[in-house]
Amino acid sequence: MTAPVKSASESEEARLIDVLALAFVADPAARWVWPDPHKYLVHFPHFARAFGGRAFAHGSAYYTEGYSGAALWLPPNVHPDQEALAAILQSTVREQVQKEAFAVFDQMGSYHPAEPHYYLPLLGVDPSQHGRGLGSALMQHAIGRCDRENKVAYLESSNPKNVPFYQKHGFELLGKIQAGSSPVIFPMLRKPRPAA
């Protein structure tokens, strides 16, 4: 049985950001940036808002029942808040990691498709709810929209363990992104599929 997926209103933003903070607590890239648990818990929510928060204003922030999973998709021609991201990294991250993080973001930009596309900055499920198909439900909901609109979907997986999950949903690996001491990030693309 597929878990129902709902669109989040802007008033639900804090609930979705909270579950994403739980979901990314062991993420290699997030914890490379903020290895200290307190700093992670304080700063990751601001990062998530800057990275994917514009989804709320565009009706492309989704969640599963009980806010146990969330996905922030940016529709075509909507982008992360670059100024806010830069400010967060500059004010909260050690200088050496800052330089490498900016290099990672530069590489990420080079993989984004030139054509209008849906971009997935963040998708995550509360670790206590893993194994219930919530991530797949969130993904199916969004890629169904991509297929109906005949749009490409693009993401970067910050955890190698999640690459097979995205491949199962039709994403293809484009390469690897890495700078200095950063963990490897995996850019992935999914072409739209016509209705059967």
| pTM of the predicted structure, to 2 decimals | 0.95
Res. 139: pLDDT tops 90: yes
Tell me how far CA of residue 35 lies from CA of 27, 42, 74, 77, in angstroms.
10, 12, 27, 33
Predicted pLDDT at 196: 59
Res. 131: pLDDT tops 60: yes
Res. 195: pLDDT tops 80: no
Summarised one tens digit per residue, pLDDT across range 17-54 is 999 999 999 999 999 999 999 999 999 999 999 999 99
> What number of CA atoms fall less than 13 Å from residue 108's CA on the CB side?
22
- Which structural domains are found in the chain, ordered by start? 5-190 (3.40.630.30)
Predicted pLDDT at 194: 78
User: Between vectors from CA 4 to CA 23 and to CA 112, what angle results, nearest 5°?
Assistant: 55
Is beta strand 5-7 parallel, antiparallel or unpaired with respect to 117-125? Answer: unpaired
Res. 60: pLDDT tops 60: yes
Average pLDDT over residues 119-140: 96
As a whole number, the mean pLDDT across the chain is 95
Residue 187 phi, psi (nearest 5): -75, 135
Q: What percent of the chain has pLDDT over 90?
A: 96
Predicted pLDDT at 3: 77
DSSP state of 43: H
Res. 1: pLDDT tops 80: no
Average pLDDT over residues 160-188: 97
Summarised one tens digit per residue, pLDDT across range 99-122 is 999 999 999 999 999 999 999 999
Average pLDDT over residues 62-80: 96
Average pLDDT over residues 132-159: 96
Average pLDDT over residues 163-182: 97
